[in-house]
Amino acid sequence: LHHDFIAQIPDSFLFAKYLKMSTEEIPITPIKDLENIILTDLKDNSTFKASSLWQDSPALVLVVRRPGCQLCREESIKIASYRDLISDKMGVKMVAIVHENLDNEVEEFNKGYWNGLLYYDKEKSFFTHIGGNFKGDGSVLGGVYIIHQGSKGVEYQYREKVWGDHAPFDQVLTAVKNVSTKKDDPVAMTALQETLEKVKKGEISFNKVLNSGPSCTVDGQCA
Protein backbone atom coordinates (compact mmCIF):
# COMPACT_ATOMS: atom_id res chain seq x y z
CA LEU A 1 0.00 0.00 0.00
CA HIS A 2 2.78 2.42 0.82
CA HIS A 3 4.25 2.00 -2.65
CA ASP A 4 0.87 3.02 -4.12
CA PHE A 5 0.88 6.08 -1.88
CA ILE A 6 4.36 7.10 -3.00
CA ALA A 7 3.37 6.53 -6.62
CA GLN A 8 0.54 9.05 -6.25
CA ILE A 9 2.88 11.85 -5.18
CA PRO A 10 3.74 14.01 -8.22
CA ASP A 11 7.26 13.39 -9.46
CA SER A 12 7.81 17.13 -9.71
CA PHE A 13 7.07 17.49 -5.99
CA LEU A 14 9.56 14.83 -4.96
CA PHE A 15 12.13 16.11 -7.41
CA ALA A 16 11.92 19.71 -6.23
CA LYS A 17 11.80 18.69 -2.57
CA TYR A 18 14.80 16.38 -2.61
CA LEU A 19 16.97 17.40 -5.58
CA LYS A 20 19.59 19.11 -3.43
CA MET A 21 19.39 16.40 -0.78
CA SER A 22 19.76 13.60 -3.35
CA THR A 23 22.73 15.01 -5.24
CA GLU A 24 24.66 16.54 -2.38
CA GLU A 25 27.78 14.62 -1.43
CA ILE A 26 27.75 13.99 2.30
CA PRO A 27 31.24 13.46 3.75
CA ILE A 28 31.85 10.67 6.22
CA THR A 29 31.21 11.97 9.74
CA PRO A 30 34.38 12.13 11.89
CA ILE A 31 34.11 9.71 14.79
CA LYS A 32 34.85 12.56 17.23
CA ASP A 33 31.53 14.14 16.22
CA LEU A 34 29.63 11.00 17.20
CA GLU A 35 31.38 9.62 20.26
CA ASN A 36 30.08 12.18 22.76
CA ILE A 37 26.45 12.05 21.66
CA ILE A 38 24.27 11.32 24.69
CA LEU A 39 21.79 8.47 24.23
CA THR A 40 18.99 7.31 26.50
CA ASP A 41 18.01 3.73 27.24
CA LEU A 42 14.22 3.94 27.34
CA LYS A 43 14.00 0.84 29.53
CA ASP A 44 15.32 2.69 32.57
CA ASN A 45 15.99 6.25 31.27
CA SER A 46 19.71 5.85 31.92
CA THR A 47 22.04 7.87 29.68
CA PHE A 48 25.45 7.12 28.19
CA LYS A 49 27.87 8.30 25.51
CA ALA A 50 27.47 6.83 22.06
CA SER A 51 31.13 5.80 21.98
CA SER A 52 30.26 2.89 24.28
CA LEU A 53 28.33 1.34 21.38
CA TRP A 54 31.53 0.63 19.44
CA GLN A 55 34.03 0.54 22.29
CA ASP A 56 34.29 -3.25 22.44
CA SER A 57 33.03 -4.24 18.99
CA PRO A 58 32.22 -2.70 15.62
CA ALA A 59 28.66 -1.41 15.29
CA LEU A 60 25.91 -0.99 12.74
CA VAL A 61 23.79 2.01 13.75
CA LEU A 62 20.41 2.27 12.05
CA VAL A 63 19.12 5.86 12.26
CA VAL A 64 15.34 5.47 12.11
CA ARG A 65 13.44 8.38 10.57
CA ARG A 66 10.12 7.49 12.18
CA PRO A 67 9.46 4.29 14.16
CA GLY A 68 5.81 4.41 13.09
CA CYS A 69 6.61 4.80 9.40
CA GLN A 70 5.96 1.67 7.33
CA LEU A 71 8.87 2.49 5.02
CA CYS A 72 11.22 2.74 8.00
CA ARG A 73 9.88 -0.50 9.41
CA GLU A 74 10.56 -2.19 6.08
CA GLU A 75 14.24 -1.31 6.20
CA SER A 76 14.48 -2.22 9.88
CA ILE A 77 13.01 -5.67 9.44
CA LYS A 78 15.28 -6.25 6.47
CA ILE A 79 18.42 -5.59 8.45
CA ALA A 80 17.09 -7.28 11.60
CA SER A 81 16.40 -10.44 9.65
CA TYR A 82 20.15 -10.80 9.09
CA ARG A 83 21.11 -10.39 12.74
CA ASP A 84 22.45 -13.94 12.84
CA LEU A 85 24.91 -13.08 10.08
CA ILE A 86 25.77 -9.48 10.95
CA SER A 87 25.86 -9.71 14.73
CA ASP A 88 26.29 -13.34 15.72
CA LYS A 89 28.67 -14.47 12.94
CA MET A 90 30.44 -11.24 11.98
CA GLY A 91 30.49 -9.75 15.49
CA VAL A 92 28.99 -6.38 14.55
CA LYS A 93 26.68 -4.94 17.20
CA MET A 94 23.33 -3.82 15.76
CA VAL A 95 21.69 -0.72 17.22
CA ALA A 96 18.66 1.34 16.21
CA ILE A 97 18.45 5.05 17.09
CA VAL A 98 15.19 7.02 17.28
CA HIS A 99 14.72 10.77 17.79
CA GLU A 100 11.18 10.69 19.15
CA ASN A 101 9.36 8.73 21.81
CA LEU A 102 5.65 8.91 21.07
CA ASP A 103 3.25 6.86 23.19
CA ASN A 104 3.83 3.17 22.42
CA GLU A 105 5.24 3.75 18.94
CA VAL A 106 8.86 2.97 19.80
CA GLU A 107 7.95 -0.12 21.83
CA GLU A 108 5.77 -1.40 18.99
CA PHE A 109 8.55 -0.76 16.48
CA ASN A 110 11.15 -2.60 18.53
CA LYS A 111 8.92 -5.54 19.36
CA GLY A 112 7.62 -6.06 15.85
CA TYR A 113 10.32 -4.85 13.48
CA TRP A 114 13.71 -4.60 15.18
CA ASN A 115 13.74 -6.67 18.37
CA GLY A 116 17.15 -5.54 19.47
CA LEU A 117 19.15 -2.72 21.01
CA LEU A 118 17.34 0.61 20.60
CA TYR A 119 18.17 4.00 22.07
CA TYR A 120 16.71 7.50 22.11
CA ASP A 121 18.69 10.41 20.65
CA LYS A 122 16.87 13.29 22.34
CA GLU A 123 19.05 16.00 20.80
CA LYS A 124 18.77 14.43 17.32
CA SER A 125 22.56 14.46 17.03
CA PHE A 126 22.92 11.33 14.89
CA PHE A 127 20.28 12.71 12.54
CA THR A 128 22.02 16.08 12.32
CA HIS A 129 25.36 14.53 11.43
CA ILE A 130 23.88 12.21 8.85
CA GLY A 131 22.27 15.22 7.18
CA GLY A 132 18.72 15.28 8.54
CA ASN A 133 16.54 18.35 8.13
CA PHE A 134 14.75 19.80 11.16
CA LYS A 135 13.70 23.10 9.65
CA GLY A 136 10.78 24.09 7.48
CA ASP A 137 8.47 21.10 7.05
CA GLY A 138 10.72 18.90 9.18
CA SER A 139 11.30 16.22 6.56
CA VAL A 140 13.64 14.18 8.72
CA LEU A 141 15.60 11.48 6.94
CA GLY A 142 17.46 8.58 8.48
CA GLY A 143 20.24 6.30 7.35
CA VAL A 144 22.95 3.88 8.41
CA TYR A 145 26.37 4.17 10.03
CA ILE A 146 28.78 1.23 10.15
CA ILE A 147 31.56 1.98 12.59
CA HIS A 148 34.87 0.30 13.40
CA GLN A 149 35.63 -0.87 16.92
CA GLY A 150 37.35 1.69 19.11
CA SER A 151 38.51 4.96 17.59
CA LYS A 152 39.16 3.81 14.02
CA GLY A 153 36.16 5.72 12.74
CA VAL A 154 33.17 5.39 10.44
CA GLU A 155 33.61 2.85 7.65
CA TYR A 156 30.31 3.49 5.90
CA GLN A 157 27.61 6.12 6.08
CA TYR A 158 24.40 6.28 4.07
CA ARG A 159 21.82 9.03 4.24
CA GLU A 160 18.37 8.38 2.82
CA LYS A 161 17.72 10.45 -0.29
CA VAL A 162 13.92 10.31 -0.19
CA TRP A 163 11.27 8.70 2.00
CA GLY A 164 11.48 4.94 1.56
CA ASP A 165 15.08 4.98 0.33
CA HIS A 166 17.26 2.23 1.79
CA ALA A 167 20.99 1.76 2.01
CA PRO A 168 22.01 -0.70 -0.75
CA PHE A 169 22.28 -4.01 1.06
CA ASP A 170 25.40 -5.10 -0.81
CA GLN A 171 27.13 -1.94 0.43
CA VAL A 172 25.97 -2.66 3.98
CA LEU A 173 27.32 -6.21 3.87
CA THR A 174 30.62 -5.10 2.34
CA ALA A 175 31.05 -2.52 5.11
CA VAL A 176 30.17 -5.14 7.73
CA LYS A 177 32.90 -7.33 6.27
CA ASN A 178 35.41 -4.47 6.43
CA VAL A 179 34.76 -3.64 10.09
CA SER A 180 34.37 -7.21 11.33
CA THR A 181 36.91 -8.57 13.77
CA LYS A 182 36.11 -12.09 12.58
CA LYS A 183 37.77 -11.98 9.17
CA ASP A 184 39.75 -15.10 10.11
CA ASP A 185 36.60 -17.10 10.84
CA PRO A 186 35.95 -19.20 7.71
CA VAL A 187 32.37 -20.01 8.69
CA ALA A 188 31.47 -16.35 9.16
CA MET A 189 33.21 -15.20 5.99
CA THR A 190 31.64 -17.95 3.89
CA ALA A 191 28.18 -17.09 5.17
CA LEU A 192 28.68 -13.41 4.42
CA GLN A 193 30.09 -14.03 0.96
CA GLU A 194 27.23 -16.36 0.05
CA THR A 195 24.68 -13.78 1.19
CA LEU A 196 26.48 -11.01 -0.69
CA GLU A 197 26.41 -13.07 -3.88
CA LYS A 198 22.67 -13.63 -3.51
CA VAL A 199 22.14 -9.89 -3.10
CA LYS A 200 24.16 -9.13 -6.23
CA LYS A 201 22.17 -11.72 -8.19
CA GLY A 202 18.90 -10.18 -7.04
CA GLU A 203 17.90 -13.25 -5.04
CA ILE A 204 17.62 -11.09 -1.91
CA SER A 205 15.78 -7.77 -1.98
CA PHE A 206 13.82 -5.48 0.31
CA ASN A 207 10.59 -6.45 -1.42
CA LYS A 208 11.09 -10.11 -0.51
CA VAL A 209 12.12 -9.77 3.10
CA LEU A 210 8.70 -10.23 4.68
CA ASN A 211 8.38 -13.56 2.90
CA SER A 212 11.91 -14.84 2.77
CA GLY A 213 14.03 -13.22 5.46
CA PRO A 214 16.09 -15.92 7.17
CA SER A 215 15.32 -14.88 10.74
CA CYS A 216 11.98 -13.05 10.64
CA THR A 217 8.45 -14.36 10.47
CA VAL A 218 5.82 -12.70 8.31
CA ASP A 219 4.51 -10.65 11.24
CA GLY A 220 7.93 -9.18 11.86
CA GLN A 221 9.02 -11.15 14.91
CA CYS A 222 12.78 -11.45 14.54
CA ALA A 223 15.14 -13.75 16.36
Catalytic residues: 69, 72
What b-and-e string marks burial along 96-112, b requiring 16 or more CB atoms within 10 Å of the CB? bbbbbeeeeebeebbeb
Phi-psi region of 95 (alpha: psi -120 to 50; beta: other; left: phi over 0): beta
Spatial strand order of the sheet with 154-159 comes to: 46-49, 38-41, 117-120, 93-98, 59-63, 143-147, 154-159
Whole-angstrom Cα distance, residue 20 to residue 140? Answer: 14
Label the pairing between strands 93-98 and 59-63: parallel
Please check whether residue 127 is in contact with residue 140, taking contact to mean a CB–CB distance below 8 angstroms.
yes
